[in-house]
Amino acid sequence: MSAEAVLLRARGNPSGRTLEAYLGAGGYEGLRKALARVPEAVVKEVSDSELRGRGGAGFPTGRKWSFVPKDHPGPRYLICNADESEPGTFKDRELIECDPHMVIEGIAIACWAIGAHTAYIYIRGEFVRWARILEQALDEARARGLVGRSILGSPFDLDIWVHRGAGAYICGEETALIESLEGKRGFPRLKPPFPAVVGVFGKPTVVNNVETLACVPHIMTRGAAWFASIGRSRNTGPKLYCVSGHVNRPGVYELPLGVTFREIIEQHGGGIRNGGKLKAFFPGGSSAPIMTAGDVDVRADFDGCAEAGTMLGSGGVIVFDESVDIVAAAANLAHFYAHESCGQCTPCREGADWCMDILDRMLDGHGRSADPDTLLRICRFASEGMTICPLGDAFALPISSMVTKFRDEFERRISTASPRPQKKLPALPWAGQRPGFGD
């Protein structure tokens, strides 16, 4: 298996970001090839590559593109999801930092494939620097006729705009992203209808992750068969794994999809810091069931993780050594999801908040015997279709797996001490109001 740098080939070269450097490395050849073929052929090539979405859901990209109805009068839209907010995930900014043109080329090819003439790069608000990098790259591309009217001399017109978010993890969910792009609160939509049929502005829309799109030029230049030769069936291509936490060498590592977590953590991540021992790890961002040290030989691909009862997700590997208090980690995550919940639907809004309160109370030394089972109950009824979107599952999976796999740590927090004193509630974070106009 090749450990060739495909996606991160320009990393380490500070001027590798320029259009000149990208062209010099064979950039935009994929776009040229795509434009010379019919869109259906491009969709087929991507389908044949078995590329699966790199944003977290792992949905086959070619199939997603094929859902766009052919007979719709349009317009159609492509959205590049650069919202990267899943804890433990930092690969998309790496791609944008090193090779923004690879992302732009992938967007352009995708637009040709689905018949979109407008694409938006929805990038999280905090990524100010990376939004600027993309804007500069787009300026270069426009100046060179790679974006805009009649790109590369073809009859295809294409506009690509950068659109900044403003601080909301939920806007990484494709329908919440679409709502946010439309200038609204980031509330996920009910599905069906699916974005491919009714998306942004009510039109057919495909939302793809940055890394997914970055793979596309390579599929066009080197072929689906080459892409599919990396990894294994239905789990193909190079993958950017993010390693963080208690390792010696945290960072982004480009590896063939399907290496084991042991290889990722020990070989590339440099093993546990300070000579410590692995206690647990999250395989794909924090929204997946936690894995214990015994799971290191699981294959870090979609099917491997699914078979092991977890999810590859975004490929953000968060590593814990034995210093980590699992109850504290669970509380930390509960705070995250409670803060990021959009608040629309009952089980997530109330359930995440409730989990946070229970876990804070346990950390405070006032755990009760019913708490672990109450946490499991809350998680059960905030997942599996109870909610509008998967954010419910996103907190239910990690928290319930932590309670189940590290039950003793939770049991140890159950106290026989007197009940907790009245909680002091924080002031409202947004307090721009005078109470009542008539008071």
Partner 1 sequence: MSTRPITAADPAAVARAGFDDAMESKITALLARYPTAQAALLPVLWLCQERYGWISPGIMEAVAVRLGVSPAYIQGVVTFYTMFYTAPPARYVLQVCETLSCAVCGAKDLLALLERRLGIKPGERTADGSFQIVGVQCLGACGNAPVVQVNDDYYEDLTPARLDSLLAELGRAR
Partner 2 sequence: MPRLTIDGHEVEVAAGTNLIEAARAAGIEIPYFCYHPYLSVVGQCRICLVEVVGQPRLVIACATPASDGMVVKSESSARVKEAREAVMEFLLANHPLDCPVCDQAGECLLQDHSTSEQGARFASHMVETRRTFPGYERRLLGPHIIQNQNRCIYCSRCIRFTREISETGQLTYTSRANHAFIDTFNGTPFDDPFSGCAADVCPVGALTIKEFRFRKRAWRLRSTASVCPGCSIGCSVFIDHHERIVYRLTPRGNAAINATWLCDYGRFLAETLNDQSHLHPRHRVEGKPVRLSWGDALRMFADELRSARTLRVVASANLSNEELFLTRELFGRHLRGEIVVPVHQGQQRRMKNGRGEWLHSTDAHPNSGGARRLGLDIVGEEALARFLYGAADLTVILDPDAHPFLATAEALRLVKVGLSIACMRSEHPIVHAASLMLPVPTLACNEGTFTSSTGTVQRFDMAFPPPGETRPLWIVLVALARELGIATLNLAGPAEVFDLMAGNEKAFAGLSWEDLAGTRVPSRLEQQHVG
Give the residues lining the site for partner 1 (CB under 8 A).
75, 84-90, 92-93, 124-129, 159, 161, 163-169, 180-186, 201, 242-246, 250-252, 282, 286, 316, 318, 320, 323-324, 329, 332-333, 335-336, 339-340, 342, 426, 430, 432
Look up residue 22 and give its amino acid: Y
- Rounded to whole angstroms, the Cα distance separating 9 from 43 reads 25
- Can residue 384 be called a binding residue for partner 2 (CB under 8 A)? yes
Contact mark string toward partner 2, 184..213, x via CB under 8 A: -x----x-----------------------
CB of 201 to partner 1, least distance (A): 5
Q: How far apart are CA 91 and CA 316, in angstroms?
A: 8
**Cβ nearer to partner 1, comparing 32 with 335:** 335
**Order of strands, sheet of 291-292, starting from the edge strand that comes earlier in the sequence:** 251-256, 238-245, 316-321, 278-282, 291-292
Among 347, 362, 376, 412, binds partner 2 (CB under 8 A): 347
Work out the number of other CB atoms within 10 angstroms of the CB of residue 180.
23
Residue 438 interaction partner, one of partner 1, partner 2, none, beta carbon < 5-8 Å per kind: partner 2
What is the nearest approach in angstroms of partner 2 to the Cβ of residue 59?
A: 18
Residue 338 interacts, among partner 2, partner 1, none and using kind-specific CB cut-offs from 5 to 8 Å, with partner 2
Select from 174, 353, 393, 409 the one that contacts partner 2 (CB under 8 A): 353
- How far apart (Å, rounded) are the C-alpha atoms in residues 320 and 246? 6
Q: Could you identify the residue written with the tokens 């997603």?
A: 64
Per-residue burial over 55-88, b = 16 or more CB atoms within 10 Å of its CB, e = otherwise: bbbbebbbebbbebeeeeeeebbbbbbbbbbbbb
> Is residue 385 a contact residue for partner 2 (CB under 8 A)?
yes
Among 220, 333, 352, 402, binds partner 2 (CB under 8 A): 352
Closest to partner 2 by CB, 73 or 421: 421
Q: Which is nearer to partner 2, 274 or 422 (CB)?
A: 422
Quick one: 140 or 179, whose CB is closer to partner 1? 179
Helix ranges (H only) for 341-390 are 346-363, 371-380
Residues 6+ away with beta carbon under 8 Å from 418: none
Length of the chain: 439
| Beta bridge mates, 60 | 52
Binding range to partner 2, per CB under 8 A, among 44-52, 324-332, 375-383, 399-407 = 375-383
DSSP string over 115-181: TEEEEEEEE-TT-HHHHHHHHHHHHHHHHTTSSBSSGGGSS--BEEEEEE--S-GGGGSHHHHHHHH
Nearer to partner 2, 168 or 259 (CB): 168
User: Residue 148 interacts with partner 2 (CB under 8 A)?
Assistant: no
CB of residue 395 to partner 2, shortest distance in Å: 12
Hey, how many other C-beta atoms are within 10 angstroms of the C-beta on 296? 17
# chain residues binding partner 2, by CB under 8 A? 48
Does 415 bind partner 2 (CB under 8 A)? Our answer is no
Measured CA to CA, the distance from residue 259 to residue 52 in angstroms comes to 16
Q: Which is nearer to partner 1, 129 or 149 (CB)?
A: 129
CB of 357 to partner 2, least distance (A): 4
Could you give the maximum distance between any two Cα atoms of the chain, in Å?
A: 76
Binding site for partner 2 (CB under 8 A): 168, 185, 190, 338-347, 349-354, 357-358, 361, 368, 370, 373-374, 377, 380-381, 384-388, 422-423, 425, 428-430, 432-439
